[in-house]
Amino acid sequence: MEKVLGFLKELTENNNREWFNDNRKWYEECKEKLLFLTDVLINEIGEFDPAVRGLQPKDCVFRIFRDVRFSKDKRPYKTNFGSFICKGGRKSMNPGYYFHIEPGGCFVAGGIYMPPAPVLKSIRNYVAGHAEEFLEITREPDFKKQFPEMYNDKLKLAPKGFPKDHEHIDLLKYKSYIYSKPLKESVVTSDDYVKEVVKFYEQLYPVNVFLYEALAG
């Protein structure tokens, strides 16, 4: 991954179409590495999560091109690579496993990020009735050691349809149900990268099982 990080570092300093076009071959080589890595991870994750078996890597890797139509930031390219491995691919809104490669900001994550309102409501309804089960998963000592807190983006008030005095109202305020862990670049560029991230994904698997059950009602 050193070559991938090198590309992203240069892109951060030269985020324009002229530089990108001049270095398109470098980009294509990085993209192939991301697709290969995603394929390897699909196979590894599939050993404990059958929901991801048979996924195509191209359905998991995010595009590097930014949509700048409604943004004040007109830089044309993202300065990271990411892949979300989940049933149906990254657009499916299913829980899954994410890896993010960015100079100074590499991490892995699992769960479901910013789901649309109907999906989020289904999750909240399920959490409201099964909060103790969720807490048992996330308070397990080995899990807590690696993922001490859920991604902290939540409402200030109780979500619509839920009483503000609900015993677990704090859990119901979240807009995402996702856990992440930062990684050092030395881990990302090591030969043990796959082994390390799969270990974290396996810890996140029970969270995803819970979320699958939530979506199933």
Q: What pLDDT, on a 0 to 100 scale, did the predictor assign at position 183? A: 96
Q: What pLDDT, on a 0 to 100 scale, did the predictor assign at position 73? A: 82
Q: What pLDDT, on a 0 to 100 scale, did the predictor assign at position 180? A: 97
Q: What pLDDT, on a 0 to 100 scale, did the predictor assign at position 52? A: 96
The CATH number covering residue 52 comes to: 3.30.930.20
Q: What pLDDT, on a 0 to 100 scale, did the predictor assign at position 72? A: 81
Q: What is the DSSP string of 60-84?
A: TBPPSB---TT-S----B-S-EEEE
Q: Are 209 and 181 in contact (CB under 8 A)?
A: no
Nearest Cα neighbor of 49 from 206, 216, 196 is 206
Name beta bridge partners: 154. Answer: 174
Question: How far is 180 from 214, CA to CA, in rounded Å?
Answer: 20
Residue 108, SS3 per DSSP: strand
Residue 1, SS3 per DSSP: coil
pLDDT tens digits, residue range 31-66? Answer: 999 999 999 999 999 999 999 999 999 999 999 998
Q: Are 15 and 77 in contact (CB under 8 A)?
A: yes
Instruction: Give me the number of domains the chain comprises.
Output: 1
Q: What pLDDT, on a 0 to 100 scale, did the predictor assign at position 155? A: 94
Question: How far is 187 from 173, CA to CA, in rounded Å?
Answer: 34
Question: How far is 101 from 166, CA to CA, in rounded Å?
Answer: 39
pLDDT tens across the length of the chain (217 residues):
899 999 999 999 999 999 999 999 999 999 999 999 999 999 999 999 999 999 999 999 999 998 878 778 888 999 999 999 999 999 998 999 999 999 999 999 999 999 999 999 999 999 999 999 999 999 999 999 999 999 989 999 999 999 999 999 999 999 999 999 999 999 999 999 999 999 999 999 999 999 999 999 7
Q: What pLDDT, on a 0 to 100 scale, did the predictor assign at position 115? A: 94
What range defines the domain where residue 162 resides? Answer: 2-216
